[in-house]
Structures are given as structure tokens and as C-alpha cells.
Amino acid sequence: MNVVLVGAECAPWSKTGGLGDVMGALPKALARRGHRTMAVVPRYSNYEEGWETGVRVRMRVMGSDTEVGYFHGYIDGVDYVFVDHACFQGRQGDIYGGDRQSILFRCALLCKAALEAPWHVPCGGAPYGDENLVFIANDWHTALLPVYLQAHYRDYNKMTFARSVLVIHNMAHQGRGPLAEVAGLEIPEHYTHLFQLYDPIGGEHMNIFKAGLIAAHRLVAVSHGYAWECQTAEGGWGLDGVLREHAWKLRGIVNGMDYAEWSPQSDPHLRSDGYSNYGPDDIAAGKARCKAALQRELGLPEDPNVPLLGFIGRLDYQKGVDLIRDNFDWLMHEGAQLVLLGSGRDDLENSLREMEASRHQQCRGWVGFNVRLAHRITAGCDMLLMPSRFEPCGLNQLYAMAYGTVPIVHAVGGLRDTVHPYNPYENTGTGWTFDWADAGSFRDAMGNAIYTYREFRDSFRAVQLRGMRQDLSWDHAAELYEQVRL
């Protein structure tokens, strides 16, 4: 196949969350399986890996004629194509920011530029063309792509061999707006109904995700659990009916993880400041060194036996940070240490600061986005907390397990798919799970994990090792993507 993945973010160049990681890793895994693979992403900054191709394409975007350029880098078998346009420049730290019109403009432009890329960008040889061509779009920001593919190409007998897949990473964001805005998107009138949605949340409105879900040839949700949940009233955010209607073309594929970025054996962030690389064979010494180094780096008392719990993630209602806050006094009373890293909602950022201020000897709340610290917390903690209210896939629990850090998760979406609850009778499982997103259920799970850590260290170690020894790589997921038959 010729595969073109399109996304608003792509690690290591741009990332705000899991989508960036997926865009960074899935193309490489598909390329390893022998597919010619291109990843089309915005050029938010002057990335040194991307070279000016000299290709410029004129296009009409939201009523204005404009020109895009393409930069290209061939890395790990993948053609990374960076779309160059003034609307992306300077947005490196604010990918989704700006007013509605400028966000829509960037989304429309990226989709149009991606549809033209296989024709114009030489990619070190001949352009891809449309033979066996599959576009993989991601979330609402690129949901216009399947619509444009149909309306601007296939309806004119162009790209008749090309197909589109839309991957659902998060249903909570849908590109909603006033219905009148559809007129600005260069959509033929007979397709405007695709964008029209009435629901109690938004009333009658324009919904870009809805149009993409209908127009795409196939849909993928980032876990089996999420494929089911987004068809329910709780998980569909108003689009559950649309998804139920199109369930025939929807399947769940759990994200993999990129061991090149996240492996305790080779992680470059563990090579200094007292941290060290480790694997399953030297987990005891390796994790002890990383735990001590983390405690030292953050100025917490160095104690090998205190249960050290971590949280990394966007500070958002979705991530259940408030459930950690609700259990804070209990955790402190238990004598645990708690390290939180995140950025997002102001009130939750303040919660982190308040928790740290109130228990400076036991808690650190690091507000910001810091990849190195994320790696170090993942390595140094004994347990990682993910009390997400919903979690389409979640990557931090995968990283945690690979690092021998035991995840404690709300059994929902991808967390339920990937973390198997510890069963002391059969000595199975890779973490602790709880079924209700409330403070009490979460507390019980943390209590059990801490109890096992303190009283049954061998059992705890076995949970860690089972997590570490799993194959969580993208290779399997890439094979499943390949099977999304069109």
C-alpha cells in the first residue's frame, strides 16, 4: 500500500499528547511492514530534518487563494512531509490555539495540502500517485480530508483508487460551530447535511467530525473498549447515533508504544543525574537508582521504601486529576510520596501547586510540559496513577508497564484493554484497576497496590516484571491497521 497519514501533531517535532506519539510511531511501523508511508504534518517551526522541496501548490482555502510549500525528510523509512504555510509558523507551542476562523483555516489547509501531497511531493523518487493509496486522518482536525477526497476528487473521477480511514483518538473534540460556517469550507451544497447535527449539547450546529465519520471509508477507534464506548450516550458526545449507524465500518485497534522513544534499557533521559538504564534482569537495582535520583532531583526525602506514586498528563476533567486531589489527604496519611506533572486547566494547575505547598515533604506538583521529567517520573515511580474518566487508549500506562512502574487505572476504554488487574490467587495481572470513577473506588485500588508493595514485595515485583515483559510495540497494531480492508 501507499499510506499517507495526516495529523496536526507529530512527535518528536510537535506533540501535546498521545496523537503526537501515534503520528510519530505508526508510520514507522507501517514502513517496517513494507508499505510506502508518508506522514503529512504542519511545519510549525524550522525543523532541521525537513528539506525544502521547492514544490509549491496553489489552492483555495476558505475563500482565499493561497500557496503551500512542502518540506521533506526521509527518516526510518518514512517520508515526513512538513506543510509550509504562514498559518502554521510560530504555532509550535500553541498548536490548537487561535480564533475559530484561524483554527478552521489551518484544518482545511492541512487536509487540502495532504490530498495534494501524493501528487506533487517527489519523496526521493516518483510521487506516490493514487494507486493503492490510503489516507489515514486523525481526529476532527483532519476530518475534512475524507469529505474533500469525496467531494473534490472522487466525484470528478479523480483518485478513484484512493480510500480514507479516519482514526478516532478523542470524541470530546469535534470541531463544532455555527452551521453557517460550513459555507466557508468549500463544500458542495449537497454535502452540507453531513455537517449538520442537532443534539442537546450544541443544539443545531456544524460538526466537522460528524462529516468526516460519515465520509470516511473506514473508521478506527484507538482501542476495542473505546470503539464500543463511543457508540454509547456517555462516550459519544452527541455522535453516538452516527457511530452506531456506521458501526459496520468501525473497529478498535489499540495503540502500540514506540520502544525507540520509551525503553528503560536505552532511554537517554536516564543516562545522567544519577538515573540509570535498566531492564527486567536488573530491575531491582535499576529502579532503586532511578527512584533515588527522582527523589533527589525533586528535593523529596530519599527513601527506597516509601511508595512513590506518579501522575503525568493533561490537566483536564477527562484525566480525573480531581480524584487524586480528593484522595490527597488519605495518600499523605498513608505515608506515600506523590509526584504530579501536567499542564492544562488553571484550577487543576493550582491544585497541583496547592498539594505541593501543603505537603512539601511528600508531594511535588510540577506544572508544565517536560518530556525529560515525564521519562524520569515513569522510571523512578513505583506506581503510576491514571484515574481517567474516559481514556480512548492512553499511552502513559503502556510506558509505565514497560518501565516496571505499576499502573493503577480506571478500567475504561484503552485502560481496560491494556491493564490486566492483579489477581493474587493466580498470580496474574499487570496493574490495579477500579470500576467506578469515584474517589472511594480509586482509593481502594491504591490501597491494595500500596499494601501489596509494602507487605508482598515479591508479588509486587512479579506484577512489575509481567508488565515489562509484554510486547507492547506498534508492530502488532500496524498489522491490524493493514487489515482494515477497504
Beta carbons within 10 angstroms of residue 285's beta carbon: 11
**Pair type for strands 363-367 and 337-344:** parallel
CA distances 302 to 270, 293, 296, 309, 442, Å, are 18, 8, 6, 14, 26
Neighbours of 99 (CB within 10 A): 8
Would you state the torsion angle of the CA atoms of residues 353, 354, 356, 358, taken in this order, to the nearest 10 degrees? 160
Q: Closer to ligand ADP by CB, 313 or 380: give it.
A: 313
C-alpha cell at 239: 455522535
Q: Tell me, what amino acid is at 234?
A: E
Q: Under the criterion CB under 6 A, does residue 43 sit at the interface with ligand ADP?
A: no
Question: Would you say 475 and 23 are in contact if contact means Cβ atoms under 8 Å apart?
Answer: no
Q: What DSSP string runs through 211-244?
A: HHHHHSSEEEESSHHHHHHTTSHHHHTT-HHHHH
CA-to-CA distance for 446 and 74, rounded, in angstroms? 45
Min dist CB 186 to ligand ADP, Å, is: 30
Q: Which is nearer to ligand ADP, 314 or 416 (CB)?
A: 314
Contact in structure between 301 and 323 (CB atoms under 8 Å): no
Q: Output the 3-class SS for 252-296.
A: ECCCCECCCCCCCCCCHHHCCCCCCCCCHHHHHHHHHHHHHHHHH
Give the separation between CA 192 and CA 131, rounded to whole angstroms: 29
> With binding defined as CB under 6 A, does residue 395 bind ligand ADP?
yes
Decide: is 201 part of the binding site for ligand ADP (CB under 6 A): no
Question: In the β-sheet with 203-207, what is the strand arrangement from edge to edge?
Answer: 176-177, 203-207, 196-199
User: Where do we find the cell 506519539?
Assistant: 21
Instruction: Pick one of 45, 132, 192, 370: the residue that binds ligand ADP (CB under 6 A).
Output: 370
Q: Which stretch binds ligand ADP (CB under 6 A): 13-21, 142-150, 197-205, 270-278?
A: 13-21
The grid cell for 424 is: 493474587
Cβ closest to ligand ADP, residue 286 vs residue 310? 310
Query: Shortest gap between Cβ of 451 and ligand ADP (angstroms)?
Result: 27
Residue 343 touching ligand ADP (CB under 6 A): yes
Q: Least distance to ligand ADP from the beta carbon of 398, Å?
A: 8
The DSSP secondary-structure symbol of 438 reads: S
- Told to check if 21 binds ligand ADP by CB under 6 A, we report yes
Among the residue ranges 62-70, 71-79, 301-309, 364-372, the one whose residues contact ligand ADP (CB under 6 A)? 364-372
Q: If binding means CB under 6 A, how many residues of this protein chain bind ligand ADP?
A: 18
- Minimum Å gap between C-beta 381 and ligand ADP is 13
Q: Which of residues 50, 146, 286, 342 is near ligand ADP by CB under 6 A?
A: 342
Query: Binding segment for ligand ADP among 97-105, 115-123, 394-402, 417-425 (CB under 6 A)?
Result: 394-402
* Residue (128 or 390) nearer to ligand ADP, CB: 390
CB of 255 to ligand ADP, least distance (A): 7
Please state the closest distance from residue 252 (CB atom) to ligand ADP, in A: 15
Specify whether the CB–CB gap between 216 and 185 falls below 8 A.
Answer: no
Instruction: Report CA 467 to chain centroid distance, whole Å.
Output: 20
Identity of the residue, 28 or 36, whose beta carbon is nearer to ligand ADP in the bound complex: 28
Q: Which stretch binds ligand ADP (CB under 6 A): 84-92, 237-245, 285-293, 388-396?
A: 388-396
374, 445, 463, 472: residue in contact with ligand ADP (rule CB under 6 A)? 374
The single residue listed with the C-alpha cell 537508582 is 289
**Gap between the Cα atoms of 283 and 294, Å rounded:** 16
Can you read off the three cell numbers belonging to residue 291?
Answer: 527512584
Pick the piece of the chain touching ligand ADP (CB under 6 A) from 41-49, 80-88, 363-371, 455-463.
363-371
Q: Does 314 bind ligand ADP (CB under 6 A)?
A: yes
Q: Which of the stretches 233-241, 294-302, 310-318, 353-361 binds ligand ADP when contact is defined by CB under 6 A?
A: 310-318
Q: Which residues 400-419 are close enough to bind ligand ADP by CB under 6 A?
A: none
If one asks whether residue 98 binds ligand ADP (CB under 6 A), the answer comes out as: no
Smallest distance, ligand ADP to C-beta of residue 29, A: 16
User: Binding to ligand ADP by residue 313, rule CB under 6 A?
Assistant: yes
Q: Which residues are bridge partners to 177 per DSSP?
A: 206
When the beta carbons of 56 and 476 are compared against ligand ADP, the nearer one is 476
Residue from the set 254, 341, 381, 463 that interacts with ligand ADP by CB under 6 A: 341
- Contact between 330 and ligand ADP by CB under 6 A: the answer reads no
Only one of the segments 95-103, 368-376, 429-437, 478-486 lies at the binding site for ligand ADP (rule: CB under 6 A); that segment is 368-376
What value, to the nearest 5°, has the Cα angle with vertex 447 and ends 446 and 453?
Answer: 90
Which one, 53 or 343, has the nearer CB to ligand ADP?
343
376 sits near ligand ADP (criterion: CB under 6 A): no
**Residue facing ligand ADP at closest CB distance:** 18
Helix (H, G, I), strand (E, B) or coil at 48: coil
What size, in residues, is the chain? Answer: 486
Chosen residue from 103, 182, 312, 385 binding ligand ADP by CB under 6 A: 312
Interface with ligand ADP (CB under 6 A): 17-19, 21, 312-314, 341-343, 369-371, 374, 393-396
